[in-house]
Amino acid sequence: MRLPALAGLLAVALVGSATLLPSHAADDAPPGGYPSWQDVQNAKQSEAGKAAEVTRINGLLGGLQTEAEALGNSAVASAAEYAKAEAALQAATSTVDALTAQTARAAAELGQYKKEIGALAPSRIRPVEPTWVSSLPSTPCRTTASKA
């Protein structure tokens, strides 16, 4: 009956080896500070997630740079238009100032002319007899008086 003894010995050997072999829990924390397989998988997923995040951020930065360039170009164009408008305003202001000064000189000259005309008018005006008065007889008409 060696067989049952051998079977018993085999059973003891299997149970003993099971206790001597590391269990599955030991796989989660490998000896020597090395990462576990789960740690490696998590790191790979984290790396892929971070790479996707970096790609997304780079896309946002590219879009913002494009927008900033467009806004910069718009600002330069607006500044050029403003400079043109400012120059036109200065030219118009200069013209208005010149015309205002010319108007003031003309008004002063007009006032002087009015004074001169006012002074000359009485000396140049003489009473004019109507032409029909000179055709009248110098003596009064007696026909009306003699009939009376």
pLDDT in tens, 105-116: 999 999 999 988
The mean of the pLDDT values for the chain is 79
For residue 26, the model assigns a pLDDT of 46
Please, where are the H alpha helices in the chain? 2-20, 24-28, 37-124, 131-134, 143-146
The mean per-residue pLDDT over the stretch 42-52 comes to: 86
56-90 exposure pattern, b = at least 16 Cβ within 10 A, e = fewer: eeeeeeeeeeeeeeeeeeeeeeeeeeeeeeeeeee
Report which of 46, 28, 23 is spatially closest to residue 38, judged by C-alpha positions.
Answer: 28
Q: How far apart are CA 128 and CA 120, in angstroms?
A: 17
- Tokens 């007009």 belong to residue: 110
Count the Cβ atoms, other than its own, within 10 Å of residue 38. Answer: 10
Q: Look at residue 118 in the predicted model and tell me its pLDDT.
A: 83
Query: CA angle 80-85-90, nearest 5°?
Result: 125
pLDDT mean over 62-85: 96
Average pLDDT over residues 39-53: 86
Q: What CA–CA distance (Å, rounded) separates 47 from 40?
A: 10
Total-model pTM = 0.42
End-to-end CA distance of the chain: 204
Over 80: is that where the pLDDT of 125 sits? no
pLDDT-derived band at 68, boundaries 50, 70, 90: very high
